Structure 1
Amino acid sequence: MKKLLTILLFSGKLLAQNGTEIYLLDLSDSGGNLTLSNPKNITNRLGYDNQPFFHPTKPLIYYAAMQDGQSDIWSYNYKTGVGVRITNTIDSEYSPTVTPDKKYLSCIVQRKSNGDQDLVKYNIDNPIETQIIFESQKTGKIGYQAWLNPKELITFVLGEPQTLHYQSLSTKKDAIVASNIGRSLHLIPKQKVFSFVQKIDEKWLIRTFNPSKNTIIDIAESNPASEHYNAWTSNGIILESKTTEIFSFDAIAKQWKPVVLPENLPKKKISRMAVKGSKIAIVLDE
C-alpha cells in the first residue's frame, strides 16, 4: 500500500498517513433505519483523497487530493462521472466548503513558505479570483470551518488546546465557544445551529451551539473508540464512523445503532462522511 507524507490539519504536523479513497453511495431511510447501497469509488487512485463536500444544488462533490506532496481541490460530477481540478497552486488547499451564497469555495490554505493556515475563498466560476477571509497570523491557524450564512461561521483553530470560534465578518466578532474540540463541525440541516465534538473530562460529547442564543446543548456521547467524525442526514439524523462501521443516533431511544452497509463495500476503516439527500460520500482507507 502506498504511503504519503500528508499534512494533518488537526495537529499541524507532518505524519505518514495511508492513502484514502472517496466512495459515493445511495442512502435510504426507512423509519430511521438507514441503509447504504451501490458503492462507487470516485477517486480510485493511490494517495490521499479526502474531505468530501457536496455542492448544495449541483451534482458535484468537492474534495482535497494530494499529489507530489501537495494538496489541491478537485470536483467530481456524479451525473457525468467527470473529475476536474479546481486549484493548482504552490500552496496546499484543504477542507473545501461551498459558501452559503453558492458563489465561492472556502478552504484552508496551508502556505508552503511558512506553514500558516489561512481561510481563503475561491470564486467557483473563476477559481483564479481569491479572497483571504482570515489570516492565521491574526486569528491563529485554522483547520476547519462551517458556515451559518455569508457573514457568520465557526472555525476550528489549532492550539493547545484546539478551540472552537464563532466569527462574524460584519461585526468582526471573534468569540471562543469551546476548547478541546474535535474535527467535525457542521451546520445542522434546516436549523441555524451548529454541531461539534468536545472532550470533557474523559468523555467526548457531540454538542450543539446556537449563535443567536449563545447556548450549548448536548446531543449524544461520541463512541470513545471512534475518531469522532460525524455527518447529518437531511432528516436530521447524526451519523458517526467507527473503524469499518457507521452508526446513526436514535434520538428517541438515546442510543447508537448500526447503519447497514453493502457487502461489496471494501472492509476498510471509514473516517469522514458527507451527505446530500439520498447520496452519501464516505472516506475509506486504501
Structure 2
Amino acid sequence: MTLLQKIIVTGLLWGVIGTLNAMPASQLWLAEEQSGSLSVKPISAADGYHNQPLVVDNGVYFTQQVTSPEGGQTDLFFYDFATHEARNLTNTPVSEYSPTVYPYDEGLSAVVVEADGSQKLWFYPFAETQSPRRVFDHIAPVGYHAWGKDEQLVMFILGEPHTLQFTDLKGHLPKLVASDIGRTLAYNAARNLYSFTYTSQGQQWFASFDAQTQTVTPHFALPGSVHYYTWFDDDTIAYAIAGRIYTRHLDNPDKVLLWRNLSAYCPGTISRLSKQGSRLVFVCNQA
C-alpha cells in the first residue's frame, strides 16, 4: 500500500458522495511524433471515464472512474511510458480530480470531493513518510488549478458565474481575476503568464493573467465549441474541433493551422489535451 492509499487512515473516514455511474465514457490516446511521422495509440480502455490527462517526462497522470463497494467514484492514476501500464495512485473512498504536479514538494495536488460535498485542494505526497493534507482549508469549491512561481497559483472556483481567483501559499486571501471562465487553466513559465478562457457578451476569449502586474489580456476569440486547450509550445496553443487539432501562435493568432486530423482514431469529439515535448495526450469522448 502506497502512502497515497493511507489517506484512508489519516483520521478522515469519509463517505462517498453519491455515485458517478452516469459519467460519460472517454478514452485516452497518445500521439507521439517520431522521425517525422506520428504514432497514435490508446493508453486506456474505451469504456468508462478516463480524463484530465497531464503529460510528464515518464508518463501520464489522469483521472479514472473506478468501482467500489460504495459505488462509482474517481481515483488518480498514472500511465507509465516504460511499462505501458497504468496503476491506481490513490485508491481511496473519495473522489479525486485534476491531478497536477505540486512544485514545492514531491507529489501531486488534486481536487478532492470531501464528505460534506466540499471540493478542496489537497496535496498527495509520493514519499511514504508524508501524509496527504489539505492545501487550503478556507477555499472552496475548487474545480481546477494551475501553479505558477513564488508559491502562487490560480484556481477555478465554482459559482454563478465560475470565477478565476489568484492566491499563494503565504496566507493571502484569494483575489478575483475574471468571471465566467472556462475549464482549462495553465501556466506558461517561459512567458510567466497564466492562461485561461472566458466568455463576454456571448463570445469566448483566450486570455492571460500577469501576476506581477495583476492585469488580464484578451488575446483572441475562440470558436464556441472549444472548451479545452493545451500549450503546444512556449508560444503556441492547441485545441480540438471534433476530431481535428488546430494550433494558434500567441503573437500571430489570426493564422490558424491544422496540426493533425485524428478523426480516424476519435470518431467522437476530442476534448482535453496535454502536451510535453513530442508527446500529446488527448481525450476522445465516446458519445
Q: Please indicate the TM-score interval, normalised by the length of the shorter structure.
A: 0.7 to 0.9
- Cα distance in 2 for partners of 1:28, 1:233 equals 16
- Cα distance in 2 for partners of 1:127, 1:179 equals 40
Partner residue, 2:134: 132
Partner residue, 1:159: 159
Note the alpha carbon deviations across 1:128-156, whole angstroms, 9 max, x for none. Answer: 72110123xx3220000000036110000
User: TM-score w.r.t. structure 1 length?
Assistant: 0.85
Amino acid paired to 2:174: D
User: TM-score w.r.t. structure 2 length?
Assistant: 0.85
Shift of 1:170: 1.1
Shift of 1:159: 0.5
- Cα distance in 1 for partners of 2:189, 2:236 equals 9
Shift of 1:122: 0.4
Name structure 2 gaps, 5 residues minimum: 1-18
Partner residue, 1:275: 275
Shift of 1:100: 2.0
Amino acid paired to 1:64: T
Aligned residue pair count: 263
* Structure 1 counterpart of 2:100, from 72, 86, 97: 97
Shift of 1:225: 2.6
Instruction: Confirm or deny: 8 A CA contact 2:148 2:189 kept in the other structure.
Output: no
Partner residue, 1:238: 237
Shift of 1:262: 4.8
Instruction: Confirm or deny: 8 A CA contact 2:54 2:100 kept in the other structure.
Output: yes
Q: Percent identity?
A: 27
Partner residue, 1:146: 146
SS in 1 for 2:135: strand
**Is structure 2 residue 28 aligned with structure 1 residue 22?**
yes
- Cα distance in 2 for partners of 1:235, 1:160 equals 32
Shift of 1:263: 6.7
Shift of 1:16: 3.5
SS in 2 for 1:205: strand
Change (3 A) 1:14 1:170: same
Instruction: Confirm or deny: 8 A CA contact 2:209 2:216 kept in the other structure.
Output: yes
- Cα distance in 2 for partners of 1:208, 1:100 equals 21
**Is structure 2 residue 88 aligned with structure 1 residue 85?**
yes
Change (3 A) 1:194 1:266: same
Partner residue, 1:8: none
Partner residue, 2:259: 259
Name structure 1 gaps, 5 residues minimum: 1-12, 30-34
Amino acid paired to 1:23: W
Instruction: Confirm or deny: 8 A CA contact 1:121 1:132 kept in the other structure.
Output: yes
Partner residue, 1:123: 125
Note the alpha carbon deviations across 1:218-265, whole angstroms, 9 max, x for none. Answer: 221111133x20100234210112222221114426132222235752
Shift of 1:27: 4.2
SS in 2 for 1:143: strand
Change (3 A) 1:253 1:221: closer
Instruction: Confirm or deny: 8 A CA contact 1:36 1:260 kept in the other structure.
Output: no
- Cα distance in 2 for partners of 1:36, 1:65 equals 30
Instruction: Confirm or deny: 8 A CA contact 2:187 2:193 kept in the other structure.
Output: yes
Note the alpha carbon deviations across 1:37-65, whole angstroms, 9 max, x for none. Answer: 2111111242000000123xx41210000
4+ aligned runs moved over 6 Å, structure 1: none
1:30-41 equivalence runs, <5 A: 37-41=38-42
- More displaced 10-residue stretch of structure 1: 20-29 or 215-224: 20-29
Partner residue, 1:193: 193
Shift of 1:17: 3.8
Query: For the aligned residues, what is the CA RMSD?
Result: 2.3
Amino acid paired to 2:52: Q
- Cα distance in 2 for partners of 1:63, 1:257 equals 28
- Cα distance in 2 for partners of 1:255, 1:92 equals 40
Shift of 1:28: 7.7
- Cα distance in 1 for partners of 2:60, 2:152 equals 23
**Is structure 2 residue 54 aligned with structure 1 residue 53?**
yes
Partner residue, 2:6: none
Partner residue, 2:11: none
- Cα distance in 1 for partners of 2:126, 2:241 equals 33
- Cα distance in 1 for partners of 2:32, 2:59 equals 15
